[in-house]
Amino acid sequence: MSKRKLHLKDVKPNAEKELSRADGHNLSGQSNNFKAYLAAILSFLMLIIGIALDYYEVVFFKDWLRIFWYGIAYVPVGLPVVKAGWESIKRRDVFTEFFLMSLATLGAFIIGEYPEGVAVMLFYAVGELFQNTAVKRAKSNIRALLDVRPKEANVVRNGDVKRVSPDTVAIGEKIQVRMGEKIPLDGILTSKKASLNTAALTGESKPDFIVKGTKVFAGSINIEGVIEIEVTKEFKDSSIARILDLVQNATARKSKTELFIRQFARIYTPIVVFLAMGVAFLPYFFMEDYVFKNWLYRALIFLVISCPCALVISIPLGYFGGLGAASKNGILFKGASFLDAMTKINTLVLDKTGTLTKGVFKIKEIKAFGWDEKGLMKYVMAMEKQSTHPIAKAILEYKAEGAGFEASEVSEIAGKGLTGSVNKKTVLVGNKALMTANKIEVNREMETIEDSVVFVGIDGAFKGYVVIADELKEDAKETITNLHKIGITNIIMLSGDKNSITQKLAWELKIEKAIGGLFPEDKLKEVEILKQNPENKIAFIGDGINDAPVLAASHVGIAMGGLGSDVAIETADVIIQTDQPSKVVKAIKIARSTRKIVWQNIFLAFGVKVMVLILGAVGIATMWEAVFADVGVALLAILNAVRLQKMTWH
């Protein structure tokens, strides 16, 4: 995994170069202009006219005129292929499909099969046009990420709004984003509210309504009014730069299947060429009625069929389709190899906080002894104002009327809580250990509460408690249920939270095994134990810095990209942009669909080619069947791969 950071100016040219090429199959940019289609139309019309003249045996259409006519019909579609074959030979790459098609069609002219020579090259050229169109469509979702790159930022400097390049804006500066514009940098919303379209980043089409103080990410579109944002990250470190980096790496990382097919094609093609030579010449030594023209025709059929374009185009196209479909659904794979790896997962290990829960604490229950709830909370809130703990933040969201409660002499005791003075009363706010240390007796029934509890002691007496709980994500239950449905039954939850809370959540979600109270090294140890069984193919889902070692150790590391830490995202192999655990189920389904289509194409291409090769060798198949075995099968495989773009996964 690459851990490098890229500037956008470095990312886009490389990524676009990778996306624009059709794996060596784009003939001088044919699909980029109308000339390619015009050439095919011209060749087709001349071919049809020539076949009609042949059929009606028109007197003047013979000898050199006939050769000249079909030669002119051949040039528009054949010349780019012949040139591409010659360029490959100069690079010492002889056995390419361009060379094979040139050899086969020129051979057809030599033996007088002019219409078939033109037809083979015409169908091949048309097939290339369709292939390039299909490649563009399959890559469109990935290319869309490149198009969301913001090009300008409205920065507020010395009271004026200046339009500048985003990479010149510093952390801490304020930028304005008008309605309909893309947010150019990550930051904090300083306006009262905003409505954002985050579809390019998360795959979610519904608007995201946020309030002042909320994080916003580059690439989101402001859809309501003018908003102001304080920049928190440089352009090169923004969320959109990170995504573009991931996209670039994803297109560069090939799956094992892709790499095998490419290597196989380089061995397979020359073998078939020599077999074709054998078909042309060896019968001379074994047959009395040997006719060179007939056996050369069969050899040419062999050459046409041998072109491996159905494989070398449709296989990468399938993986591009999978990567594009995933990105459209807010899931970023860091390479096609991880699509393959995801299909083999049978053990899923999950973090709890931030993965299955929102990582946002809320007050669940307040119990006061000897006075009213609001009176108790005024003392608690006065103390918690002095703390930065997540639980303090949850308590401070409580609405309590009245003023005049100020805490003084507040000290924080690590692992226990706070002590201090409020309105000349000694106040203790923390866990049971804090109460015990100060000889405050807590009611025994409090010990049965499984959630996090904040105990309150005032002037040496136990006065109440506040129960704090992390909220379960809306789709957490659905995620576990659907994982079981798709065959992932070995699900384990590992958490740093106390074991009673972890076990309660596991029971609620029907997770078979859960362990709480773990340090990061303990989580890593648990995963290493699982890996000792070679049958376990493990995916780990996490979001925090402490999850990074486990993400790296797993066969597939999955990070929550919205709330997740940068370290976790850098380490992971798959990023869930929306922080929804249910997207993991969708990621597995997309990976399985991609794998299925790739193997369907492999069997289709090999099956048809082998059958027509045999028929061609024994003289049954003609050049027309050879065209179907090459271009026809390639188009069928491509249409099959393009299905990924239209699939939905629920």
Long-range CB contact pairs, 190-193, < 8 A, 24+? 190/228, 190/229, 190/230, 191/226, 191/227, 191/228, 191/229
Pairing of strands 417-422, 187-189: unpaired
Coil vs helix vs strand at 55: helix
> How many other β-carbons are positioned within 10 Å of the β-carbon of residue 187?
25
Name the token pair of 320: 């591009």
Name the token pair of 269: 């093609």
Q: Which amino acid is at 218?
A: A
566 an active-site residue? no
Q: Residue 464: which of 395, 409, 389, 386 has the closest Cα?
A: 395
SS3 for 476-487 is HHHHHHHHHHCC
Q: What is the dihedral of CA 295, 301, 306, 311, to 10 degrees?
A: -160
Helices (H) and strands (E) in the chain, counts: 22, 22
Pairwise CA distance, residues 153 & 182, whole Å: 9
Name the token pair of 281: 């010449």
Coil vs helix vs strand at 348: strand
Sorted by sequence, the CB contacts under 8 Å of residue 201 that are 6+ apart come out as 148, 217, 219, 220, 239, 240, 243, 330, 577
| CA atoms lying within 13 Å on the CB side of residue 646 | 6
Pairwise CA distance, residues 131 & 369, whole Å: 75
Task: DSSP for 135-167, please give it.
Answer: HHHHHHHHHHHHHT----EEEEETTEEEEE-GG
Q: What is the dihedral of CA 428, 432, 435, 436, to 10 degrees?
A: -160
Coil vs helix vs strand at 360: strand
Catalytic residue among 340, 351, 470, 547: 351
Task: DSSP for 234-284, please give it.
Answer: -GGGSHHHHHHHHHHHHHH---HHHHHHHHHHHHHHHHHHHHHHHHHHGGG
Name the token pair of 183: 């947010």
Coil vs helix vs strand at 453: strand
Sorted by sequence, the CB contacts under 8 Å of residue 169 that are 6+ apart come out as 153, 155, 175, 184, 185, 231, 234, 235
Q: Which amino acid is at 243?
A: I
Active site residues: 351
